[in-house]
Amino acid sequence: MNRQKFLKSLHSLVGWRESAFILALAERAAPNAELYFTNTEGVPEAIVEWGGNIAGFLDRIWIALIDSPDEASMIDLLDRVVEASPDLENTDQYGALPTADFFALLEQALLSGINENKKRAFDASQQSLDTITQFIEFSEGEGLDENALVKRFDTHPLVEREFSFQSEMSELLRAARHPGDSFIRELRTLAQDEGISNIGICLD
């Protein structure tokens, strides 16, 4: 699927499919947050209370949003997400940026479950890609002008990998008839990608 066709396909994701798409993007970005909290003050209490760690917190969101939709739990989890997100104005650590993006994706996923009328998949897709291009600029952009950076983005393996992942996930979701346990396991396994994040971080 070419990029234009893929972006158009995102608008066809509705209901639980759109929520699952956004949440899978967040799951893919989770190692970024795990690394950040490992190097700072640890996982925020707001997450510890609702899962113990990032993985447990994600489990709770999948349950409340997809497995057994519960709006009251979604609202509680949304409050936790907002509370746990790094305050970018009070830190100069780069890791806070992809971590904030991770929480922004969680927020969008939960909001998609609370209010299905507003389409969010396209913006979430772009946000995940923005995390990647921001990382490329941070790690490889020294001495490059804007045109050179754009060319780097267009051909970078991380961008290609993300596009391939999002396209595959979109196709799986559009073909799925219902969010059964085996399908959600398949989707989450795809998103986890053997522990490698959207910017190539692997804690192992």
Domain of residue 146, residue span:
3-195
Q: 14 lies in a domain?
A: yes
Beta strands in 23-67 (DSSP E): none
Q: Which residues contact 193 (CB under 8 A, 6 or more apart)?
A: 28, 165
Report if residue 200 sits inside a domain: no
What amino acid occupies position 177? R
- Is residue 19 in a domain? yes
Alpha-carbon distance values, 197 to 150, 155, 175 (Å): 22, 19, 25
Whether the pLDDT of residue 1 is over 80: the answer is no
Provide the pLDDT confidence category of residue 162 given band limits of 50, 70 and 90. very high
- Whether residue 29 contacts residue 98, with contact meaning beta carbons closer than 8 Å, is answered with yes
Q: How far is CA 122 from the centre of its chain?
A: 12
Q: What is the mean pLDDT of the chain?
A: 92
- Residue at 53 is within a domain: yes
| Cα separation, 200 vs 160, whole angstroms | 12
pLDDT computed for residue 3 by the predictor? 73
Its pTM stands at: 0.94
pLDDT digits (tens, 9 = 90+) for 4-50: 777 778 888 999 999 999 999 999 999 999 999 999 888 999 899 88
Helix (H) or strand (E) holding 37: helix 16-38
In a domain, 201, yes or no: no
In a domain, 138, yes or no: yes
In a domain, residue 63? The reply is yes
Q: Over 80: is that where the pLDDT of 204 sits? A: no
CATH value at residue 169: 1.20.1590.10
Distance CA 55, CA 87 (A): 22
The reply to whether 131 falls in a domain is yes
Beta bridge partners of 202: 196
Domain count, the chain: 1
